Amino acid sequence: MHGSRTAQTLRQDEGLSGELQLAKECPLPGYTGLAGSYCIITASNLPAVPVGSKVIYFQANGDPTPGWIHSDVALVAGPGNYALGHIDLNQTTPPPRIGVATFSGGTGEFAQFHASVTISGSPVSTPSPPPAAIPHCSWDGTYTSGLPLAATAVGVANFAAYQHGNAVTFVWHMWGQERVTGFTLYVNHKRINRELIPVHASLTYRRHVTWHGRGQFSLGVMFADGEQIMIIAPQ
């Protein structure tokens, strides 16, 4: 893999389901208890939800039930990428379980995302305004996705290779191209394009090549820092 500083290999079908484990903090000034308040993700086991992602609340703390948060929320992982959901959280009961959150759909890589988590953490009182910092909360549950989050985490919405005889067509679509400098194509780990395929304004790419015999088809995504991510097409 000439020209790459590091290389990581992902399967195009990786990340379709699994465990979801997040932690968040809700300090001022981001969290005020009012509609539009937000918390910050401080730990995540899912690359598609990086540390620093925000959970934005659409309803105020205690509306309509004092001591509870009943709110629609958006889990914002980046520009154009967020999951939509709802949280029911009892702020007056002792730990370990104080609430639940469910997510269904969104935009970008979360368009087909579904998740259900249990929220645990220290109980808090519900004055108005709320305390200066809501205690640490953990989210533990599972998720499913119609999109491969392992690949979409590096900007690839989908990638496939179709073989008919000796003709192979590589097709991939990007949801974002920030820091991407180009692409390389591989069959059985052998690079088959001499020059780097350049990034262009359209987010959809298609290349036709000739290959004799069967093979494992891969896409290399090159980044400005020299890193290359390899994505293996589904068989």
Give the residue extent of every domain in the chain: 7-12+150-232, 17-146
The reported pLDDT for the residue numbered 41 is 94
The reported pLDDT for the residue numbered 131 is 43
Instruction: Characterize the bridge pairing of strands 228-232 and 7-11.
Output: parallel
Structure token pair of residue 139: 């989210």
The reported pLDDT for the residue numbered 127 is 44
Question: Residue 120: exposed, middle, or buried by beta-carbon count in 10 A (0-12, 13-18, 19+)?
Answer: middle
Q: Is 110 helix (H, G, I), strand (E, B) or coil?
A: helix
Q: Does domain 7-12+150-232 match CATH 2.60.40.10? A: yes
Low-confidence ranges of the chain (pLDDT < 50): 1-7, 123-133
Percent of the chain at pLDDT > 90 equals 43
Sequence-separated (6 or more) residues with CB below 8 Å from residue 76: 53, 54, 55, 56, 82
Q: Are 205 and 171 in contact (CB under 8 A)?
A: yes
pLDDT of 77-132, one tens digit each? 988 889 999 999 887 877 666 899 999 999 887 888 999 999 987 544 444 444 43
Q: Are 59 and 71 in contact (CB under 8 A)?
A: yes
Distance between CA 198 and CA 200 in Å, rounded?
6
Question: Residue 43: exposed, middle, or buried by beta-carbon count in 10 A (0-12, 13-18, 19+)?
Answer: middle
Length of the chain: 235
